[in-house]
Amino acid sequence: MTTPILVKDVMWTQVDIVDGKCTVEAALKDMQHKKTKMLLVEKSHDYDEYGVVLIADIASKVIAKDRALNRVNIYEIMNKPVMSVHPGMDIRYCAELLTHFGLSRCPVSDNGKIVGVVSLTSIVFNGLRIV
């Protein structure tokens, strides 16, 4: 049996977590890690869940509907709750889970905190480099 490649081996740790009350315009301006193509939305209280906004959500729910970026709040277009995976998950199971749900990426959480993001691209390219 070979040692499995884990999500923590291929995920990236630079994530953008925004307040759901900020506007889409402000969130995009503050976005530090453009390669993630997603914004994670902070929990509003201890019993809340994280949300997510993908670039595709901004395109379809704001731009395509001719809504002003400075008048739409993130919470209006976010998807919640967000599915996440554990950093200790084998990338084979992560790839299976993501493809089963038609997702290309998802947050990685550990003890209820977001610690990174994993994508099918990072699994394929970074997972192959490790082998």
Going along the chain from its start, the domains and CATH numbers come out as 7-130 (3.10.580.10)
Neighbours of 41 (CB within 10 A): 27
CA separation for the pair 37, 19 (Å, rounded): 17
Average pLDDT over residues 76-92: 96
CA distances from 34 to 5, 15, 37, 51 (A): 26, 9, 6, 18
CA separation for the pair 66, 27 (Å, rounded): 18
Q: Would you place residue 126 in the very low, low, confident or very high pLDDT band (cuts 50, 70, 90)?
A: confident
Q: If you ran DSSP here, which 8-state letter would residue 92 be given?
A: H
Residue 129 has pLDDT above 80, yes or no: no
pLDDT on residue 64: 97
Residue 30 has pLDDT above 90, yes or no: no
Q: Which tens digits make up the pLDDT trace of 37-73?
A: 789 999 999 899 999 998 899 999 999 999 999 999 9
Average pLDDT over residues 104-120: 94
Residue 131 has pLDDT above 60, yes or no: no
What 3-state class would DSSP assign to 41? strand
Indicate the average pLDDT of the chain: 92
